[in-house]
Chains A and B, each alone.
Chain A
Amino acid sequence: GAGVSQSPRYKVAKRGQDVALRCDPISGHVSLFWYQQALGQGPEFLTYFQNEAQLDKSGLPSDRFFAERPEGSVSTLKIQRTQQEDSAVYLCASSQSGNRDSPLHFGNGTRLTVT
């Protein structure tokens, strides 16, 4: 597609449920990022892939969060045993390269609400 696509657009989960959020980056983009954006805040870095390799996962808030990109294209962010504090918009971004000046292209995000 022309841009970064994320699904679902909205997700409501009961506390304790597992969720999986999908990201389809722009075709050919090497780098892929996941960010978490709480209400009224800026996006906060979660994790980064270069192709299929997860090079940085320093932003994942707990071991309940897991991300993968097995074929270097589509990525999935999984949250196990969701908690209310996980409620946020989860943003995916891709870029053509890992060069520091290579702009990030963001998807519209998945809004997760944990009840």
Chain B
Amino acid sequence: GNSVTQMEGPVTLSEEAFLTINCTYTATGYPSLFWYVQYPGEGLQLLLKATKADDKGSNKGFEATYRKETTSFHLEKGSVQVSDSAVYFCALSEYGGATNKLIFGTGTLLAVQP
């Protein structure tokens, strides 16, 4: 079945450091790919998405490129801030399915220190 694998956390960085959170997927067909973020005490929010191979999603300085050849959708940010501390979830939406049901990875906790 379809699945998403994320790097385990926590990831601890100093402010202004470069961030990469790895995400790979297994899916039949051509899923859409998403990154969701969960700030402390808040609900999941869509961070960015990509719907086809080679698409780049970007938002708030974060970006991720849909790589079909490596089945990956790694999240990157050039310079993290303390306010980026949160749990990040990679997810896919199955292609050809009747719904936009999401399958999530286990999440990666990011802690940014001043």
Nearest residue (CB) in B for A97 is B100
* Contact (Cβ within 8 A) A45 B103: yes
Does B44 lie within 8 Å of A43, measured CB to CB? yes
Q: Which residue on B lies nearest to A38, using beta carbons? A: B106
- A21 part of interface (Cβ distance < 8 Å): no
How many residues of chain A are within 8 Å of chain B by beta carbon?
Answer: 30
Contacts of A44 in B (CB 8 A): 104
Complex partner residue of B44 from A31, A99, A100, A106, CB under 8 angstroms: A106
Task: Kindly provide the distance from the CB of A60 to the nearest chain B CB, expressed in whole angstroms.
Answer: 14
- For the complex, give the distance between the alpha carbons of A91 and B65 in Å: 28
A91 and B43 within 8 A (CB): yes
Are A50 and B49 in contact (CB-based, < 8 A)?
no
Contact check, A31 vs B104: say whether CB atoms are below 8 A apart.
Answer: no
B62 CB–A CB distance under 8 Å: no
Given A43-B44, A44-B104, A45-B103, A100:B95 Cβ within 8 A: yes
**B102 on the A face (CB < 8 A):** yes
**Bound-complex Cα distance A95 to B106 (A):** 22
In the complex the two chains form, is B43's CB within 8 Å of A103's CB?
no
